[in-house]
Amino acid sequence: MSDTTHDGAVALSTPPSADDGLSAAEMATKYGLTVSGARPGLFEYVRQLWGRRHFIMAFSRAKLTAQYSQAKLGQLWQVATPLLNALVYYLIFGLILGTRKGMTQEVFIPFLVTGVFVFTFTQSSVMAGVRAISGNLGLVRALHFPRASLPISFSLQQLQQLLFSMIVLAVVAVAFGSYPGPSWLLIIPALVMQFLFNTGLAMIMARLGSKTPDLAQLMPFVMRTWMYASGVMFSIPVMLKDKPDWIANVLQYNPAAIYMDLIRFALIDGYGSENLPSHVWAVALAWAVLVGVVGFVYFWKAEERYGRG
């Protein structure tokens, strides 16, 4: 070690220069060098991220395509997977358990399918978020890009997956007597808000998962609990009407339930506003902005530390 003090080492074979007396930090300042891998400011970070938008899009689309590229049916699975999913839930909850209390068959089937698809959107964003950094360490250790590109990319992939599911959903809705109308347009703001919420959540999970990869094992249980508590396959107010009010309120105002209800309301004719909690749009927006912003800042705070083994 003694032969490697920085001044001595570099001056070994070169004539002494005016820089010899300077410490590393002073020399860096003198020549305008910056700390490698330092975390940029929040606005600079957003700018860098915007500069990488093409990469984020390309990466999410590539992931989506790669998913089914070995299957014989290929991209058909994009639609077939959600369809089969809906069938399984219909079989269990619609036919065997009969959780459709308080709803007609015409409402319940689209109600259930919407719930499954919309919740899956959040669920898979969270699951992808947990592994966004820890599962892509190779990429993080090889190339430079704002690390938030990864969780954002994965949520975008899930959004595109959801759009395929929406095709199935539209077919199901029409089959059970809910025809396209102007209220269907409300799906767009609802999905935009849910996407924001999911991305924020994915970024929080990405940071946690980069420190504690064990979360990938734990999250499926958390997500399943969340799913059953959010009224994916039953109406919360109807199911909990003999329980204290606050339980139903807590469940109904949880973001997953809020976004599901909004899309059901937009899509299904027999599912009117009486099923929605009050101030539902404001709550949906609040969740989206809160989790989106907090998630982004929380993720950015550890930007320079991702990639550590």
Q: Using CB under 8 A as the criterion, which residues of the chain lie in contact with another protein when the complex forms?
A: 1, 3-6, 9-10, 12-15, 17-19, 23-25, 27-28, 30-38, 52, 54-55, 58-59, 62-63, 65-66, 69-70, 136, 138-145, 213, 304-305, 307-309
Minimal distance in Å, beta carbon 158 to another protein? 17
Nearer CB in complex with another protein: 6/101: 6
Distance CA 87, CA 70 (A): 24
By the 8 A CB rule, do 197 and 122 touch? yes
Nearer CB in complex with another protein: 9/95: 9
By the 8 A CB rule, do 268 and 151 touch? no
Nearer CB in complex with another protein: 22/294: 22
Rounded to 5°, the CA angle 217-128-154 comes to 170
Closest CA to 191 of 286, 263, 289: 263
Distance CA 162, CA 64 (A): 11
Minimal distance in Å, beta carbon 11 to another protein? 9
Nearer CB in complex with another protein: 137/286: 137
Minimal distance in Å, beta carbon 44 to another protein? 13
Closest CA to 258 of 292, 233, 285: 285
Nearer CB in complex with another protein: 17/104: 17
Minimal distance in Å, beta carbon 298 to another protein? 18
Nearer CB in complex with another protein: 35/96: 35
Minimal distance in Å, beta carbon 161 to another protein? 16
Closest CA to 268 of 115, 73, 92: 115
How many Cβ atoms from other residues are within 10 Å of residue 265's Cβ? 20
By the 8 A CB rule, do 115 and 231 touch? yes
Minimal distance in Å, beta carbon 84 to another protein? 22
Minimal distance in Å, beta carbon 72 to another protein? 14
By the 8 A CB rule, do 116 and 228 touch? no
Nearer CB in complex with another protein: 143/282: 143
Q: What separation, in Å, do the N-terminal and C-terminal C-alpha atoms of the chain show?
A: 26
Distance CA 191, CA 185 (A): 10
